Amino acid sequence: MYVVFLGAPGAGKGTQASVLAEKLGLAHISTGDVLRDAVRRETELGKQAKGYMERGELVPDALVVDLVVDRLSQEDAARGAVLDGFPRNVPQARALDDALKARGAAVDIAVYLRVPEPVLIARLAGRWECSICRAPYHELTNPPRRAGVCDQCGGPLTQRADDRPETVKRRLQVYFEQTAPLLDYYRERGVLAEVDGERPIPEVAEQVLAVVRRAEAGEGSRTSREG
């Protein structure tokens, strides 16, 4: 089963994709995580991607598409995957369709986490992550048990460079211009499901699981809405 998460920066894609992938035993593919890791390790990909990421722009398709296609061909993605942060525009969605078609598969469901813009801005401003295991936290909605320390591995928490206010503004603009059209792309294909992303994390996770289970049971051929 191939699940795509859609939603603006701050909608909760990373958190929900990781919960869902674990529950279903599927690979979790986050292009943002792969790119940030490449930047930290100063690989060729990281060097090329860094400037775009710091400005809140999309990294060119030529770099990102190959990375995802390679990742999908690894063994842990053979049964399916949960994609988070990819596709980000219509050409990427087409490239994903082609790659899956080549293996007799398709996007089974695109889960759209719906969150109003003022909430997104507040969320991005309070966001922290573990500098070691990358577990996500939020000052208000998902604080660590001890301030500044990861619950899972004890690592120190840091803020993402691209969560600075100027970059957040640009990332949201890029989302509305380039990524939001994917809602129609997947709606037209009958695989879009909307979930109210403003609810607390466990409730959103429940709703997400419900729409995915419905798609799995073969009811994914129409637009569904939860919350």
Which residues in this chain contact ligand AMP in the complex, by CB under 6 A?
9, 31-32, 35, 52-53, 56-59, 64, 85-86, 88, 92, 162, 171
**Judged by CB, which is closer to ligand AMP: 32, or 224?**
32
**Catalytic residue list contains 127:** yes
Specify the residue, 12 or 56, whose C-beta has the smaller distance to ligand AMP: 56
In sequence order, what are the residues at sequence separation of 6 or more whose Cβ sits closer than 8 angstroms to the Cβ of residue 160? 36, 127, 129
Q: Which residue lies nearer to ligand AMP by CB, 57 or 216?
A: 57
Which is the catalytic residue, given 170, 171, 189, 214? 171
H-type helices in 73-214, by residue range? 90-101, 117-125, 165-174, 181-188, 201-214
Looking at the Cβ atoms of 24 and 29, the one nearer to ligand AMP is: 29
Contact present, 115 and 198 (Cβ < 8 Å): yes
Q: What is the end-to-end Cα distance of the chain in Å, rounded?
A: 23
160 catalytic, yes or no?
Answer: yes
CB half-sphere exposure, 122, CA atoms < 13 A: 9
Q: Which of 179, 148, 220, 198 is nearest to 16 (CA)?
A: 198
Provide the minimum distance between the beta carbon of 213 and ligand AMP in the complex, in angstroms, as a whole number.
25
Residue nearest to ligand AMP (CB): 32
Residue 222: active-site member: no
Could you say which of 134, 160, 187, 199 is catalytic? 160
Which stretches of 34-159 are assigned E, i.e. beta strand? 81-84, 109-114, 127-130, 136-138, 157-158
CB of 40 to ligand AMP, least distance (A): 13
Q: Please state the closest distance from residue 214 (CB atom) to ligand AMP, in A.
A: 26
Hey, which residues are catalytic here? 13, 88, 127, 160, 171
